[in-house]
């Protein structure tokens, strides 16, 4: 078991090290998210009387679209530089590679969220940075990274991989996005997290389901 976690850590360490050096993933995700927020801000200013009404949708859609950019790089960059085989040759249960990649993607998306939350507060003037909302964002992002990483591995051996990832991912993400948006609406309206226990349970169930599915299937997903 210790070896398993060593490999998870090795993959995570490697991805973080490369990202700290190149900033490729963060830059593309952050710039995309900032531009999306700017466009949403101007678009809704023209027609919506109270911009705070659209904040939950703007928040989750921006995270989803920006996140796909990062998730797409999780395995495609390994394939492009020809290093995927090096990972798969490791004498360890291959799901350890999945969890290393998933944790790296999770951290990248959380960093981008930390960057865009203050921007949303400024653009939309909504008190978004509260403990319950941060918890929902964290849980939702775990599910997003879990399913996105396995689909990124699935898409990597296909010809239209850049297109295939969002096409596969968004229909599966729909329950998570709906639950996230519903809970965020309630929290912004001053309701407590307990009043949205069903949505919260759905998010937690989604997270566990896809982490287990990925653990069981990753070896088959990356197999030729």
Partner 1 sequence: MSQPLIRIAGLRKAFGRHRVLRGIDIDIEAGSSVILLGPNGAGKTTMLRILATLSKATSGDVQIAGVSVNDNAEGIRRYLGMVSHSPLLYGDLSAEENLTFYARLYGVSENDGRRDDLLQRVGLHHRRKDLVRTYSRGMVQRLAIARALLHNPPILLLDEPDTGLDPQAAEMMTDLLREIGGSERTIVMTTHHLERGLELADRVLILSGGRLVFDERISGLSYGDLRPLYDQYVGTGTP
13 contacts partner 1 (rule: CB under 8 A): yes
For residues 161 to 200, the per-residue mask of contacts with partner 1, x marking binding by CB under 8 A and - elsewhere, is ----------------------------------------
86 contacts partner 1 (rule: CB under 8 A): yes
CA–CA separation, 78 vs 73, rounded Å?
A: 8
| Residue 217 · residue 154 · CB < 8 Å | no
**By C-beta, is 93 or 134 nearer to partner 1?**
93
For residues 52 to 81, the per-residue mask of contacts with partner 1, x marking binding by CB under 8 A and - elsewhere, is -----------------------------x
H or E stretch covering 127: none
| Residue 41 · residue 125 · CB < 8 Å | no
51: exposed, middle or buried (Cβ count in 10 Å: 0-12, 13-18, 19+) = middle
Determine which residue in the list 30, 74, 87, 200 makes contact with partner 1, applying CB under 8 A: 87
CA–CA separation, 154 vs 176, rounded Å?
A: 20
**Which residues are at the interface with partner 1 (CB under 8 A)?**
3, 6-7, 9-11, 13-14, 17-18, 21-22, 81-83, 85-93, 223-224
């Amino acid at each position: 078991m210790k070896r398993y976690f060593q490999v998870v850590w090795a993959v995570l360490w490697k991805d973080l090290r490369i990202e700290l050096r190149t900033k490729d993933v963060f830059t593309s995700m952050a710039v995309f998210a900032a531009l999306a927020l700017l466009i949403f801000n101007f678009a809704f200013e023209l027609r919506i009387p109270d911009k705070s009404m659209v904040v939950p949708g703007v928040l989750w859609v921006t995270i989803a679209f920006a996140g796909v950019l990062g998730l797409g790089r999780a395995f495609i960059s390994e394939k492009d530089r020809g290093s995927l085989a090096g990972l798969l040759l490791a004498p360890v249960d291959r799901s350890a590679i999945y969890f290393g990649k998933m944790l790296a993607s999770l951290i990248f998306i959380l960093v981008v969220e930390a960057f865009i939350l203050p921007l949303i507060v400024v653009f939309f003037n909504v008190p978004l940075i509260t403990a319950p909302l941060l918890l929902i964002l964290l849980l939702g992002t775990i599910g997003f990274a879990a399913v996105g990483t396995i689909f990124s591995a699935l898409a990597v051996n296909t010809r239209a991989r850049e297109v295939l990832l969002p096409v596969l991912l968004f229909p599966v993400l729909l329950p998570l996005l709906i639950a996230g948006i519903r809970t965020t609406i309630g929290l912004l309206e001053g309701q407590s997290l307990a009043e949205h226990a069903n949505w919260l349970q759905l998010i937690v169930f989604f997270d566990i389901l896809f982490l287990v599915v990925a653990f069981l299937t990753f070896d088959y997903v990356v197999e030729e």
